[in-house]
Amino acid sequence: MDKLLITGGTTLNGEVRISGAKNAALPILAATLLSETPVSIGNIPHLKDITTTIELLGRMGVHMVLDEKMNMEVDTRTITNYQAPYELVKTMRASILVLGPLLARFGEAYVSLPGGCAIGSRPVDIHIDGLIKMGADISVDGGYILAKAKRLKGCRLVLEQITVTGTENLLMAATLASGTTIIENAAKEPEVSDLAYFLNKMGAKISGIGTDVLTIEGVEKLGVDNLHYEIMPDRIETGTYLIAAAITGGKVRLKDTRPDILDAVLAKLVEAGAEITSGEDWIELDMHGKKPKAVSVRTAPYPAFPTDMQAQFTAMNTVADGVGIITETIFENRYMHIQEMQRMGADIRLESNTAICTGVAKLTGAPVMATDLRASAGLVLAALAADGDTLVDRIYHIDRGYDHIEEKLSQLGATIRRVPC
């Protein structure tokens, strides 16, 4: 099991290309199960979660070819079974996203329940309840969801809480249902919109994209000859590298990204003292050698401040001027990085779902342990601003969601390398 060894204290400068969005790529790969013709997907990020998804689809009999430019050809005409086994689902909760497509196209699915999650409860009740309302016969036995339906029927679904994967699963299922499905209180995240645009390119009829009410007119089949679709850029990776520059007083230019989906993050970086300039597909941040100012954030569903950027802003606040208050409203257990940052000298007081952080002059390098994907990113950022060496353990978490993070940070001047245990 590898670790990251980071020597802090370097001001980061330079240019980095942003990879495709993990949280768009995973549902889009699941959605290829709906297509009766081969599909080409571009801008696939090089991530552990993508490898897991490829293995999952491969076990079903799906034929896939990935080239050196991270373009993937997916052909689901060779599918032989409709099962998502526990040993894969337990490593990646997004595996639940095959439930809706399998049921809609093939009339059955056998999918493991995801189980626990380090950052809190993320139940799949909304997925199951929605499919039942669409006419599915569903039972849960031995930790597996067994779903069957001759053909799903369109209906009105009012989601009891905003859920990204729940919205995506039901959206995919509705594309092949008979009649019209209306999903209210739908998640509005850009990655949900990217999935919807992809489905429409395959022949689906989805309207209301980007709003909290999605209307889907079911069609008989999906699939378009010679279809190629490019995955959107990763807004969380973008935000993470912007903070890498901010926390070190540096200047970075990020290319192949989208500033229009990062309004809440960019506003907080400006509040922290950063100069932000941007174009259609690039963002530049310049701290002019200054320390950031502490900022207060409250996480909430898109377009508000994303929970997936909370740990990174917490890291920035540890060395910022002033006091920043972070309030986490999405997941009840997403502060496990705080104890590790305290080992590095951070002054953070935790009160229920609120972290009160008083910036210190310097953090000190120390051995730390990653507990989840975004927590690991926060620890890497803290290490960049610390004196001495920091050894980040359990970086398999970061490999799930960051494409060659040590290489990209090295391009910006960081002293970082992967070391074996």
What is the spatial distance between Cα 168 and Cα 214, in angstroms, rounded to a whole number?
Answer: 11
Strands (DSSP E) contained in 287-414 are: 297-298, 323-327, 347-351, 354-358, 363-364, 367-369, 386-387, 389-393
Find the Cα–Cα–Cα–Cα dihedral 359, 294, 374, 29, rounded to 10°: -170
Q: What are phi and psi of 126, to 5 degrees?
A: -65, -35
Question: What are the start-end ranges of the H helices in 223-284?
Answer: 235-248, 263-271
Q: Judge whether 368 and 380 are in contact, CB under 8 Å.
A: no
Q: What is the DSSP letter of 34?
A: G
Among candidate residues 117, 155, 357, 421, the one labeled active-site is 117
Secondary structure (3-state) at 238: helix
DSSP class per residue in 98-158: GHHHHHHHHSEEEEE-----TT-----HHHHHHHHHTT-EEEEETTEEEEE-SS-B--EEE
**How far apart are alpha carbons 286 and 288 in whole angstroms?**
6
Structure tokens at 226: 């010679």
- Of 368, 239, 360, nearest to 308 by C-alpha is 239
Would you put residue 39 in left (φ > 0), alpha (ψ -120 to 50) or beta? beta
CB 278 within 8 A of CB 233: no
Helix (H) / strand (E) element for 24: namely helix 22-31
Question: Cα(328)–Cα(305) distance, rounded to whole angstroms?
Answer: 10
117 in catalytic set:
yes
Residues catalogued as catalytic = 117
